[in-house]
Structure 1
Amino acid sequence: MLLDGKVAVIHGGGGSIGAATARVFAREGARLHLAGRSLPRLERAAAAARDAGASEVSIAVVDAMRQDEVDAHVDAVAMEAGTVDIALNAVGFDHVQGLAIADTSLEDYLHPTVGYLTTNFVTAKAASRVMLAQGHGVILTISTPGARLTGRGLIGNAAQSAGLEGFSRALAGELGPGGVRVVCVRPHAFRDASESYTMDMFGRIADGGGGTLDDWWDGLESTTLLGRLPVLDEVAEYLAFAASDRAASMTGGIANLTAGALVD
C-alpha cells in the first residue's frame, strides 16, 4: 500500500475532491482525519472511506479560514496519532466566474483571491509547524487551469490560482530543508462532481452564454488534448502517489492534470 499507516489530514474532507481522495487514501492504508464545515458531508465521506477499507477515520467540524480552529485540530491529531504525515487542502467555495471586468465588483474579484489564499495559508501554517518539528511531511494544494488561461471572466479565478501556485513553490523552498515536501496539483473542472458547488457556478456561466450546461461541458472538453476532462478518482490517485514515499524527490512542482487543456 502506498500510504500504509500514514496519518493524513484532509481539509475540505466532505467536498468532491476531498471525499474522493479520502477513498483512495483509505484503500492505500492511510489513517484519515477529515475536517470541514458540513457535518453531514463529512459523515458521508467517512462512511465511503470506511467502505474503501479505511481502518481509521475521524471527522471534525473545522473552519479552515480560522487559524485557531485549524491549529487546535492539527495539534489534537498530532497528539493522538503521534504524527501528521500528509495535509491536503481541498477546500472550495462558490465564487463569480464568467463576467467581464466591467461587470465584476471588487468584492467578487477579491472573494476567491483572498479566500483560497487565506485557507491555504492557515492550513499550511498549522501543518508545517508539526511537520518541521518531526522532520518530515507532505503538504498538498489544489490549483486550477485559471493560473495560466486567458480570456473573459477568469480574473478572480486566475488571480487565486496563480497566487496559490506561487505560494506552493515558495513554501516548498522554505520547508524543504526541514524535510517537508509541497506539491501543488492543477486539475480541471470535474463533470463527475455532481454535488459540488461548481455545478451551480458553471450553470450560471452556461446561462450567461445562452446555452445549456451540457453544451458548456462539451465545449470545455473539446479544448483538451484528450477530448475529455479529468475525473475525480484520477486526481485522487495522483494525490496518493504524490503523498507517498515513491514521490520522495518531488517538491515545488505543479502537476498538470488538465487532460491537455494546458501543455507544459
Structure 2
Amino acid sequence: MSLLLADKNAVIHGGGGAIGGAVARVFAREGARVFIAGRTQGKLDTVARDIAAEGGRVETAQVDVFDEAEVEKHAESVAATAGSIDIALNAVSVLHDQGTLLADLSVEEFMRPVDGFLRALFITSKAVARHMGGERPGVILTLSEPGSKLAAGGILGHSVSAAGKEAFSRVLAAELAPHNIRVVCIRPHAVADAPAAGSYTKDLFKPMAAAAGQSVQEMLDDGGMAHGTLLKRLPTLSEIAETAAFLASDRAGAMTGTVANLSAGALVD
C-alpha cells in the first residue's frame, strides 16, 4: 500500500506535546518529512527519537510560538531546507481556567485562552501559508474542542476560544483556497490517554476531578465526560493522529473549510 504522506513536508508546532507528538509519529510513519517545533527541547527530542527509531525523517527546533519573528524564521528555514511546506498543524496548548463562573472569573482568566490560542494560530498560520500551495497542494490543520458549541457554565473563555478557532479556520479556508491550500479543523473531545502522555489537560482537569472526588483519569474513564458521548467513550491520541494523517493527505483533497468531529458523539453536527 502507498504511504498517505509520501514526499510531504510537515511542520508541527507543539510537536513535543501529547497530540502534536502523536500526529508527528503517524505523519512520519506515513512518509512525511516532519519538522517539530516547541518550547521544550527535551519533549521534542523524545518524539524525534521515537520517529528515528522507526526509520522516519524528523528535525526539531526550539521555537517560541508567540514570537512572530522566530516562527517566521523557522518556517523560512524549513522551506529552504525541504523545498516547501505541504502540511502544518498547530497543536500548541495554553493552560487556562475551566469551571469558574462569571461572578468569580477575572478578565485576565477569561482572555487567557482567547488571546493565547488565537494568537498562536494566527502567527503560525501566517508563517507557513506563504510557503505553501501553488503546484504542491497545501494543508493547514487546526485543533478545536466541543466547547465551541456547548452551552454549559464555567467554560466562558474556553468556549469562546474554541469557537474562535473554528471561525478562524473556516474564514482562512476561503482566503487560501485560490492558492491551492486547504484548511481543516479537527474537534476532538477530552482525549482519554492524553494525561498519561504528558498533556496539559492533567493539570487543567485536576480541580474538577478533585471536586468530584476522583483522579483525572477516573473522571475521563468513568465520569460524565465519557458517558456524555454517543459512543460512551472518549477519543484516543491514535484516533486523532490517524484522522489527521488522512485529512492532510491528497485522499481528502476535497475537504476544506470544515470541522472533523472527533468528539465520539459529544456533539452531533
Q: Please state which band the TM-score falls in when normalised by the shorter chain.
A: over 0.9
Q: Confirm or deny: 8 A CA contact 1:146 1:158 kept in the other structure.
A: yes
Amino acid at match of 1:202: F
Query: Counterpart of 2:11?
Result: 9
**Contact 1:187/1:235 (CA < 8 Å) preserved in 2?**
yes
Give the Cα separation in 1 of the matches to 2:54 and 2:143. 23
Alignment map for 1:1-264 (pairs within 5 Å): 1-54=3-56, 56-132=57-133, 136-193=137-194, 194=196, 195-217=198-220, 218=222, 219-264=224-269
Unaligned runs of 5+ in 1: none
SS of residue in 1 equivalent to 2:184: strand
Q: How many residues align?
A: 263
Identity %: 51
For 1:129-151, what per-residue CA distance to the aligned partner results, in whole angstroms no more than 9, with x for missing partners?
A: 11156663100100001000111
Please state whether the residue corresponding to 1:130 is helix, strand or coil. coil
Structure 1 contact 225–259 (Cα < 8 Å) conserved: yes
* 1:212–1:13 CA distance, 2 compared to 1 (3 A): closer
Contact 1:83 1:134 in 2 (8 A): no
Give the deviation of 1:53 after TM superposition.
3.3
Residue identity matched to 1:201: L
Cα distance, 1:52 vs structure 2: 3.5
Secondary structure in 2 matching 1:131 = coil
Q: Structure 1 residue 241: deviation in Å?
A: 0.3
Shift of 1:214: 4.3
Question: Over residues 13-49 of structure 1, what are the superposed CA-to-partner deviations in whole Å (9 max), with x where a residue is unaligned?
Answer: 0000000001101110000100000000000011112
**In structure 2, C-alpha distance between the alignment counterparts of 1:124 and 1:192, rounded to whole Å:** 28
Q: Distance in 1 between matches of 2:65 and 2:246?
A: 24
Tell whether the 8 Å contact from 1:135 to 1:178 is kept in structure 2 after alignment: no
Letter in 2 for 1:224: T
CA drift at 1:111: 0.3
Return the alpha-carbon distance in structure 1 between the equivalents of residues 27 and 218 of structure 2.
34
Tell me if the contact between 2:86 and 2:136 (Cα under 8 Å) persists in the aligned partners.
no
Tell me, yes or no, if the aligned pair for 1:23 and 1:52 is still in contact at 8 Å. Answer: no
Report deviation, 1:99: 1.0
Secondary structure (helix, strand or coil) at the match of 1:69 reads helix
Q: What code does the residue aligned with 1:65 have?
A: F
Superposed CA RMSD: 1.3
Deviation at 1:213?
3.0
Structure 1 length-normalised TM: 0.96
Deviations 1:101-126 (A, max 9, x none): 11111100100000000000000001
SS at match of 2:61: strand
User: Which residue identity does 2:200 align to in structure 1?
Assistant: Y
CA offsets per residue over residues 190-247 of structure 1, 9 Å max, x none?
A: 1211111111110112223454434422221000100100000100000000000101
User: Which residue identity lines up with residue 89 of structure 1 in the other structure?
Assistant: N
Contact 1:24 1:236 in 2 (8 A): yes
> What's the CA shift for 1:66?
1.4
Deviates more, 1:232-241 or 1:208-217: 208-217
User: d(CA) in 2 for partners of 1:213 and 1:72?
Assistant: 38
Give the whole-Å Cα distance in 2 for the aligned partners of 1:26 and 1:66.
27
Instruction: Report the AA paired with residue 57 of structure 1.
Output: V
Residue identity in the other structure for 1:225: L
